[in-house]
Amino acid sequence: MALLALLGLLVGLAFAGSPRELADGTHVAGIEVGGLTHGQAVARLDAAFEEVRRDPVTFTAGDGTYAFAANQLGVEPDWRGAVAAAAQAGNGFGPIRGFRRLHTRFFGAEVFPRVAVSDAALEFALDRVAAEVDRAPTSAAVVRRGLAVRIVPETPGRRLDRSAAERTLVHSLGSLDRVDGTVPLNVATTQPPVTQEMLEPAARRARIVLSAPVTIRRAGRQWRLSRQRIAQLLLLPSDGTKRLAISGPHATSYFDELGERIGRPPVDARFVASGEGIQLVKSRNGTELDVAKTARALLRAATSRTNRVATAVVVPAIPELTTKKALAMGIDRRMGSYKTYNAGTWDRITNLRLGVLALDDTLVPPGGAFSLNDAIGERTVERGFRPAPVIIGTKYEEEVGGGTSQVATTVFNAAWEAGLDITERNPHSLYIDRYQLGRDATVYWPSLDLRFANDTKSWVLVKGFVEPDGIRVSIYGGERRRVQSSAGTREITGAPPVNRVKDRTLARGTTVVEEAGSSPSRTSVTRTVYGEDGEVLREETWNTNYRGEARVVRVGTKKPEPAAKPTKPNAKAPAGDAKQPGEVTPPTRP
């Protein structure tokens, strides 16, 4: 035994070799690296991979072929790690290393490197393949041509197995051996959720549905549906469904028409102005067709061979604003009212009336806000609004909806008199003397608005009225507030801006005032709002600056005419023709 041990020790030492060299028979990715140092082995492997790095490998998936190279996908084998692993397998202390290397010499050792890859490039490649390979399965469907019903069979789909494809791509491109031919990528077959066999019962029922007319009855009245009309209302199984249904656009249209014949629309509670008070007209329940239940009843009748009569289902229709809800709003008095008078063209007056009618019956909850732009909406020709003058800057121009600012002024003053919190008000840029001093307002869709907040404990109702000579806005609520306002002051802050226009028809040195213009000014008005107990709720001062409207002056530039030839001493000019030099009669303004 001692001799055997000594012999084994000698054999181990004989084959131990140098630890700096790899054992004979060592292979990395199929390349013999035995007897080489670590550095030499890595250099050999790098050189071998460099020869194939740019060589594309052809892959197949479905019906397509795709070529990728290692450098395209950023594939980089870890040769240093693989050489280190190979060295570790043949290393050890003295005789142990010899026996390990003796085993490698006779039986060989193969090491495959880890392979790094660009995730983004790999995903791009897989997405490209999947885009052409993936095909969703199609479920079977029941289709109709005329009154004939048949089943369209299902078609299976396919899907790229991305995990398996990723491994195949990386392994093939990280290998030093390039295979002849193509490398297949794994593609799985996907089955649809609904097959032809599953739809056989639905197809049989559909044929029964279209076999004869159906009658709908309600309260002594009845409506007959022909086979062709039933076919329009019938929704056949498709897109993964398995059931018949009475549904779709044609069914919706039919039930809307039937509902108008059978039902009675509910009537909301409404508030009617009565002097300084308000009266409540009670709501009234109605009836309406229960579309879902009626559709199910119609389908049951249509799928019966004997009893092909369905009963329409009618349910109560509750108004949106019931009497109970309206009473709970607490609206019982007029808080403020204001009227402005018609001015301008008939188109402008039309816009006033449309605007005030659009905001009529606007309800604002406690803590809520009123917006004139929201209440009236966009002013368009389609809604009946007409082009009329508007003030833009200091100029008058024509725009659709012109005059709506008078509605804003009317609402502003109604909210002012009601004592409500006015949160947004934009004055006109020019002073308009037909409005109360310092209490005008303008709006412009959608940027400029008039807004007030309902800072009471009850709901607030905004009513609009068209009167023969103007428009009126009244605000109703549940609180009685007292408003004390100052008459206001107006201070001229400068001279009107002058716009001089050259006129070649006037003699040089002659001027004519075509537009008088107006001076810039500022106003100041105050408002004190008292509550029901006499407490001061708010004290406000509203300051407004108005720009001056330009004075338009025409300045003559016409050169004087040559002097006339002298006349005979006894000649006389006709009476009434004499004028002073430079005297021009200005035209009258329309």
Give 429-487 pLDDT, tens digit per residue. 999 989 999 999 999 999 999 999 999 999 999 999 999 999 999 999 999 999 999 98
The yes-or-no verdict on residue 69 having pLDDT over 80 is: yes
CB 463 within 8 A of CB 361: yes
Kindly tell me if the per-residue pLDDT of 252 is higher than 90: yes
Residues 341 and 285 in one domain: no
The C-alpha atoms of residue 579 and residue 573 are separated, in whole angstroms, by 12
CA dist 320 and 491 (Å) reads: 52
What percent of the chain stands above pLDDT 70? Answer: 88
Q: What is the mean pLDDT of residues 178-194?
A: 90
**Selection from 407, 410, 406, 442 nearest residue 427 by Cα:** 442
Query: Are residues 514 and 480 located together in one domain of the fold?
Result: yes
User: Is 567 inside any structural domain?
Assistant: no
Please tell me the predicted confidence (pLDDT) of residue 274.
86
Residue 152: inside a domain, yes or no? no
Q: What is the pLDDT of residue 573?
A: 42
The per-residue pLDDT for 569 is 57
Q: Could you tell me which residue, 391 or 92, shows the higher pLDDT?
A: 391
Q: Are residues 132 and 280 in the same domain?
A: no
Which residues of 22-114 form beta strands (DSSP E)?
26-28, 31-32, 57-61, 64-68, 76-77, 109-111
Burial class (CB in 10 A: 0-12, 13-18, 19+), 208: middle
> What is the arithmetic mean of pLDDT over 82-109?
56
Q: Evaluate if residue 114 carries a pLDDT over 60.
A: yes
Bridge partners of residue 149, in order along the sequence: 144
Mean pLDDT of the chain: 88
Per-residue confidence band for 138, with pLDDT thresholds at 50, 70 and 90: very high
What lies within 8 Å, CB to CB, of 180 at 6+ separation is none
For residue 568, tell me if it sits in a domain.
no
Q: How confident is the model at residue 10 (pLDDT cuts 50, 70, 90)?
A: low
Res. 337: pLDDT tops 60: yes
Q: Does 366 share its domain with 486?
A: yes
Based on the fold, state whether residues 120 and 269 are members of the same structural domain: no
Interstrand relation of 183-184 and 57-61 (parallel, antiparallel or unpaired) = parallel
DSSP output for 100-140: HHHHHHHH-EEE---EE--HHHHHHHHHHHHHHH-B--B--
Q: What mean pLDDT is predicted for residues 378-395?
A: 89
Of 315, 317, 324, 320, nearest to 268 by C-alpha is 320
My answer on whether 394 and 497 are in the same domain is yes
Residue type, 512: V
Is the pLDDT confidence value at 103 over 90?
no
Specify the length of the chain in residues. Answer: 590
Helix, strand and coil percent figures for the chain, each rounded to 5: 30, 30, 40
Rounded CA-CA distance 116/130 in Å is 22
70 φ, ψ (degrees, to nearest 5): -60, -40
Residue 312 sits in the same domain as residue 386: no
Number of helices and strands in the chain (H, E): 15, 37
Residue 402: pLDDT band (50, 70, 90) is very high
What does the angle CA 447 – CA 407 – CA 516 come to, to the nearest 5 degrees?
85
Q: What is the DSSP string of 469-508?
A: TEEEEEEEES---EEEE---EEEE-SPPPEEEEEEEEEET
| Residue 206 dihedral angles phi and psi, to the nearest 5° | -60, -40
pTM of the model: 0.63
Q: How far apart (Å, rounded) are the C-alpha atoms in residues 81 and 114?
A: 8
Which of 89, 112, 137 represents a domain boundary (last residue)?
Answer: 137
Cα angle, residue 554 at apex, residues 551 and 560 outer, rounded to 5°:
155
Contact 81, 114 (CB under 8 A): yes
Kindly report the number of other CB atoms within 10 A of residue 188's CB atom: 10
Answer yes or no: do 394 and 258 share one domain. no
Residue 463, H or E segment = strand 460-467
Structure tokens at 586: 């200005």
CA–CA separation, 292 and 520 (whole Å):
67
More confident residue, 180 or 324: 324
HSE, CB side, 13 Å, CA atoms: give it for residue 164.
11
Q: Of 174-178, 511-515, 538-542, give the range with the top mean pLDDT.
A: 538-542
Distance CA 294, CA 313 (A): 5
Does residue 78 lie in a domain region? yes
381 assigned to some structural domain = yes
Question: Residue 159: what pLDDT?
Answer: 96
Indicate if 334 and 483 belong to the same structural domain.
Answer: yes
Domain end: 102, 137, 172, which one? 137
Judge whether 188 lies within some domain.
no
Q: Provide the pLDDT confidence category of residue 151 given band limits of 50, 70 and 90.
A: very high
Q: Examine the fold and report which residue of 309, 325, 341 is the final residue of a domain before the chain moves on.
A: 325
At 30 the pLDDT is 75
Phi, psi of 397 (to 5 degrees): -135, 170
Q: What's the pLDDT tens digit per position in 529-575?
A: 999 999 999 999 999 999 988 888 899 888 877 766 665 555 444 44
Contact criterion met (CB below 8 Å) for 525 and 486: yes
How many Å apart are CA 47 and CA 255, to the nearest integer? 79
Separation of alpha carbons 405 and 440, rounded Å:
9
Residue 297 resides in a domain: yes
Does the pLDDT value for residue 175 go beyond 70? yes
Sheet holding 26-28, edge to edge: 31-32, 26-28, 109-111
CB 341 within 8 A of CB 409: no
Q: Domain of 304: which CATH number? A: 3.10.20.800
Contact status, residue 413 vs residue 384, Cβ threshold 8 Å:
no
Domain ranges, residue 243? 198-325
Crossing angle between the packed helical segments 404-418 and 346-358, to the nearest 10 degrees: 40
Q: Give the least confident one: 27-41, 132-146, 163-177, 489-503.
A: 27-41
pLDDT, position 563:
65
Task: Of 109-113, 271-275, 395-399, 522-526, give the range with the top mean pLDDT.
Answer: 522-526
38-42, 159-163, 178-182: the lowest-pLDDT one = 178-182
Total domains, the chain: 3
Same domain, residue pair 388 and 451: yes
Find out whether 148 and 104 touch, Cβ atoms under 8 Å: no
Conformational region of residue 33, where left means phi above 0, alpha means psi within -120 to 50, and beta covers everything else: alpha
Is residue 305 in some structural domain?
yes
- pLDDT computed for residue 270 by the predictor: 96
Which of 370, 551, 348 lies closest to 455 in space, CA to CA? Answer: 370
pLDDT value at position 468? 96
Among 19-23, 153-157, 339-343, 463-467, the minimum mean pLDDT is found in 19-23
**pLDDT digits over 211-222, tens only?**
999 999 998 899
- Shared domain for 307 and 356, answered yes or no, is no
pLDDT at 261 (0 to 100): 93
Q: CA torsion angle for 554, 558, 560, 562 (degrees, to 10)? A: -160
| DSSP letter (8 states) at residue 582 | T
Are 292 and 417 part of one and the same domain?
no
pLDDT of residue 575: 41
Cβ contact 266:276 at 8 Å: no
Give the pLDDT of residue 44. Answer: 87
pLDDT band at 81 (very low <50, low <70, confident <90, very high): confident
Backbone angles phi, psi at 267, to 5 degrees: -120, 125
